[in-house]
Amino acid sequence: MERVRVISPCTSANLGVGFDVFGLCLKEPYDVVDVKKIDEKEIIIEVDDKNIPTEPNKNVAGIVAKKMMDDFNIEEGIKITIKKGIKAGSGLGSSAASSAGTAFAINELFNLNLDKLKLVDYASYGELASSGAKHADNVAPAIFGDFTMITNYNPLEVLHIPIDFKMDILIAVPNISINTKEAREILPKSVNLKDLVNNVGKACGMVYALYNRDKELFGKYMMEDKIIEPVRGKLIPNYFKVKEEIKDKVYGIAISGSGPSIIVFPKEEFIKEVEDVLRDYYQDVIKTEVGKGVEVI
């Protein structure tokens, strides 16, 4: 095999009360990551977004590739070509998609036979470069698909819940970017015990709701974050106003990752109405559904 091309989907992390733990894979938008062998022993990167660096030591895909190639003593060189479908800095796992797609493609290209958990670990090195933390709440759902939970980091543990029922999803993308590092720096360094208990309880309730296919309960608990969204919501234009305006027409609404994108689970009878409201405030609104993770084209 000389070349592998994959689709690597966007993801939504946190989902309200699940900060740094919950992740949801979305069907679209997605990146297309193409990795092929070359004669020269080097890593070459091409990206169709001029704002993304192509130096291997500054690009998340390059960092993931170098780590994997060093660990497995791969002597050949590779060229990574990335077609970005996910806007950088949008809170939809843009760096995670490139990282996960690269890890997945290299595993296929060189027959490394790594399992999905190990691929998540390698992909998270890209997140370390982009956000300053080796977090896996975006790369895990990108690789596993569906809904994931990061329950431990040393050693890495990922729990995967397949979603076998339809969930309509709208993503509103404000025309601003939020730096993940900065979005983490503004978070409180300590939290009230009562708020912590609230978030843990609601997070448990969301998992229960998924197993029972209860979209009403899932969305209700997702909207009751007492720790992260009260802080980060201030960075997103009209977030709290929109949340209040559509709360009776949706199962749930939350900030996607560190923002500014907003993930919305509209009730079936109000999909068009909710979409119209979102378009009144935000130019870009995406209709999508739950995705199944990275796949070879």
Percent of the chain with pLDDT over 90: 90
Per residue in 255-268, pLDDT (tens digit) is 999 999 999 999 99
Q: Which of 258, 115, 242, 273 is nearest to 172 (CA)?
A: 242
Which of 62-66, 80-84, 122-126, 181-185 is least confident? 181-185
CATH classification number, 3-162, choose in 3.30.56.10, 2.60.40.10, 2.160.10.10, 3.30.230.10? 3.30.230.10
Tell me if 94 is assigned to a ligand binding site.
yes
pLDDT number for residue 131: 67
Active site residue 295: no
Tell me if 90 is assigned to a ligand binding site.
yes
**Residue keyed to tokens 């998992």:** 207
In degrees, rounded to 5, the angle at the alpha carbon of residue 23 between the alpha carbons of residues 87 and 128 is 65
Residue ranges, CATH 3.30.230.10, the chain: 3-162
Which residues, listed in sequence order, are joined to residue 268 by a DSSP beta bridge? Answer: none
- pLDDT top residue among 183 and 140: 140
Query: Which residue type does 263 have?
Result: I
pLDDT at residue 170 tops 80: yes
The mean pLDDT value of the chain amounts to: 95
Record the pTM.
0.94
Tell me if 97 is assigned to a ligand binding site.
yes
Beta-carbon neighbour count of residue 144 at 10 Å?
A: 24
Query: Which residue type does 93 have?
Result: G
Backbone angles phi, psi at 90, to 5 degrees: -100, -10
Give the active site residue among 108, 127, 224, 275: 127
> Is residue 33 a contact partner of residue 27, using CB atoms and an 8 Å limit?
no
Residues 219-227, mean pLDDT to the nearest whole number: 97
Identify the band that residue 285 occupies on the pLDDT scale cut at 50, 70 and 90: very high
Q: How far is residue 274 CA from its own chain's centroid?
A: 23
Per residue in 77-104, pLDDT (tens digit) is 999 999 999 998 899 999 999 999 999 9
Backbone angles phi, psi at 68, to 5 degrees: -70, -40
Backbone angles phi, psi at 169, to 5 degrees: -135, 135
Per residue in 121-137, pLDDT (tens digit) is 999 999 877 666 678 99
Residues 39-51, mean pLDDT to the nearest whole number: 93
Identify the band that residue 290 occupies on the pLDDT scale cut at 50, 70 and 90: very high
Give the active site residue among 11, 102, 148, 180: 180
Residue 159 three-state SS: strand
DSSP of 163-186:
--S---EEEEE-S----HHHHHHT
For domain 168-289, the question of CATH label 3.30.70.890 is answered with yes
Per residue in 99-119, pLDDT (tens digit) is 999 999 999 999 999 999 999
Residue ranges, CATH 3.30.70.890, the chain: 168-289
pLDDT number for residue 140: 98
Active site residue 148: no
State how far the Cα of 120 lies from the Cα of 18, in Å rounded to an integer: 18
